[in-house]
Chains A and B, each alone.
Chain A
């Protein structure tokens, strides 16, 4: 039995094996397939987990690298503030205030008359410095605010407009956006976007099979890709996480990521990100992303203030910002905009009359010439340089810092216009070509730089002459020479020689300077030598006082360049940039106090937390008395000397102070001067350092004058402090004289430095009648 059984068993075994073989093979295949599926599933799972990590880490973290934004100084409004009606309007326009008939809410203004305005100012906060929304009524007369009142008619001592945005510091990719939150976006914009791009947005889970099927059908019918089936979520994923390729794997990744995104985030969060991410145009090298920035780019208005036709245009651009570019292809853009308006009407987002009105409007984009958002490369360059000490490039172009600069929009505008227009007119008058120029302007006292122009093409962002063109300063050095003398025992009535000078240099060559008029003027008053810019007198005086002392004065006033201290230095062989000259002359304007020229007030982070403040720093480097005397002498330059051309167009009562500078063969034309409130330096020359037909008076001075003709400023009142007394001296001998003596002139002297002899007096009038006249005055 056992054997039988064994036999049976052995007999049956091969049969069973033969039956089992395909089964086992099948099972093996299935196992392999199962294994492969499991592997694929695991890989897929790992991939999905990876994508999930990618989606969440990017979406939860900082979504975009935000460039630093640079703002101009806020316009302060108070009675006595220097301001023209035109400048106020320009500032309001830059801030995108809306001109209306009746002011009702913040961001609006109206003109009651040519010099009376109502403004509802917008509130703002720079860290803990807060300005609230408020209604103001102000009146301007003689280029200054003479009345400032609030809603109830009560006086308002001080108010501010928010700081205007003037530029940014961008990464190489130059992707720019102005973030908006969903609640800031008009409902119509969001609804229209959904109606145009993804009607099932609120229902789907990231992908819409129905939309894909519909798109496939349309594409098959037309034989090419005319419609996409992507949802808004997929579009966002494509732009935000992926590249622009069209492979199957990329489409799959896009679909999975879209589902993951929908799984983790609300529709509102997805829509808000989309509104900030989408590419909507180009401004030069900058890419305009998001509706916040696009609204400013195309209409110069915040997105909240857009009208129906403007919203329609922006939504239309989503399909192709370049193809529908309203400046390049206005017809195409208009067609697209009207199509969007039709959809708005079709979806009952607007009424028939609204649609009709919207369609009747022109595109409404700002003129092509004004479409650049930021036009101040030379000033931004200065800001960047001053920030470099405290911030890395990475921090500046990615962390959304807000930099509040010292630029005055009004001053910058006047400086730009003055330089470009004057250079054109000079070239035309002299049949010259290739003139270039630079102007820098600052507030006296604070040392805040208010305007910088480094090229006649003010939007050119290359070589910045204001900061980098180091040129011989010529006679601009003379006030420093005379200041040194005044600090070393000389007074304004000291007689100095303007006789020919001949000095043998270390190389054996003779240095023989000449006056501009080629004439030697004998012995002259110190003040007159400066007023008439006599080279021989300046050279002699500088050598008498000592070259070392003159150079020490220069250094104490902030000049840090290296130069050879030779007699030629006394006539301006030393080379400085316009910005360095500004710092030097600011000491003279600021009563002898040195202050670093600042372009930044404060820096806050993206969350408006205070990071850095750049405070006023001062150092007294020149006595108040010497500063008073040199200011008086420089006022004389403007009244009677080489700067007198200024008063052809400006009122003499301003009592401006300044100095012209012309270098050898008229290669450089300089002018530096100041009022009681502003100081500016202008330079004109050629980049190849060739000869120009211009002197300081005929070139740079005219640019400077053009600036101050448009910029309201305070007259220069000399400081009343210090031991200064005004005395009458004889114009020939310099001896003490009297008001009633022929040839007497009144000059300031430092107590103890007054003339020590009396001049002979030939009286003009009978002393009694003179006394009587004086008493009557």
Chain B
């Protein structure tokens, strides 16, 4: 009885191993010299990767500051400065609709209609649907 249990256990282990092999991803674009590569990989101790930010710390304070600065330039009718500051904001948060609006309006005031519309269109992609910002951006798109 005991022997039978051991055999069943062994059989189970073999089966699990086989299942494990089966579920391993197949190799696509097979490498020509897998053994060599493995050796090469092993011969070099792999340094730990930097801890890339999967869940980044909020950049809200910096984007809020840059929005405020860009608004200030905009209110002073400094269109080029507004664009510079808003672009700096987009480097921090590339999907911030507010910066797109500021750039679009500034280009409109500089009579660069194509860029004004392009930025408005892009901002609209990232603005919350039905928000006031989305309506403003939509309004820019229909500018003559």
Contact = CB atoms under 8 A, between A and B. Distances in A.
B97 to A, nearest CB: 9
Given A78-B62, A516-B30, A719 B47 contact: no
Chain A interface: which size bin? 35 or more
A719 B126 contact: yes
Given A618-B122, A642-B29, A698-B31, A144 B65 contact: no
Nearest to A619: B118
Interface in B63-88: 64-66, 80-81, 83-84, 87-88
A591 B84 CA distance: 22
B125 A624 contact: yes
B131 interface: no
A446 B49 CA distance: 26
B40 A428 contact: yes
Interface stretch (B2-10, B12-20, B51-59): B51-59
Nearest to A652: B54
Interface in A617-653: 617-620, 624, 640-642, 644, 649-651, 653
A713 B33 contact: no
B83 A516 contact: no
A242 B25 CA distance: 75
Contacts of B31: 695, 697-698
Nearest to A662: B29
A79 B58 CA distance: 7
Contact of A642 (B28, B33, B94): B28
Nearest to B49: A709
B61 A78 contact: yes
A304 interface: no
A143 interface: yes
Contacts of B119: 618
Contacts of B81: 128
Given A617-B115, A644-B25, A722-B125, A712 B94 contact: no
A650 B49 contact: yes
B113 interface: no
B108 interface: no
Interface in A229-259: none
Given A80-B57, A624-B125, A722-B125, A429 B49 contact: no
A430 B33 contact: yes
A712 B94 CA distance: 17
B94 A517 contact: no
A714 B62 contact: no
Given A142-B53, A143-B50, A613-B80, A445 B90 contact: yes
Contacts of B21: none
Nearest to A695: B29
A523 to B, nearest CB: 18
Given A79-B59, A613-B80, A642-B28, A712 B50 contact: yes
Contacts of A722: 125
A533 interface: yes
A640 B126 contact: no
A328 B54 CA distance: 50
Nearest to A516: B29
Closest 3 CB pairs of A and B: A445-B94, A429-B40, A80-B59
Interface of B: 25, 28-33, 36-37, 39-40, 44, 46-47, 49-54, 56-59, 61-62, 64-66, 80-81, 83-84, 87-88, 90-92, 94-95, 103, 115, 118-119, 121-122, 125-126
19 contacts: A78-B62, A80-B62, A81-B59, A82-B56, A144-B57, A155-B61, A157-B61, A157-B65, A158-B66, A446-B91, A516-B28, A616-B87, A640-B25, A642-B29, A695-B29, A696-B29, A698-B32, A709-B47, A715-B52
Given A709-B47, A710-B49, 8 more contacts: A80-B92, A144-B57, A145-B57, A445-B95, A516-B30, A620-B121, A654-B54, A714-B53
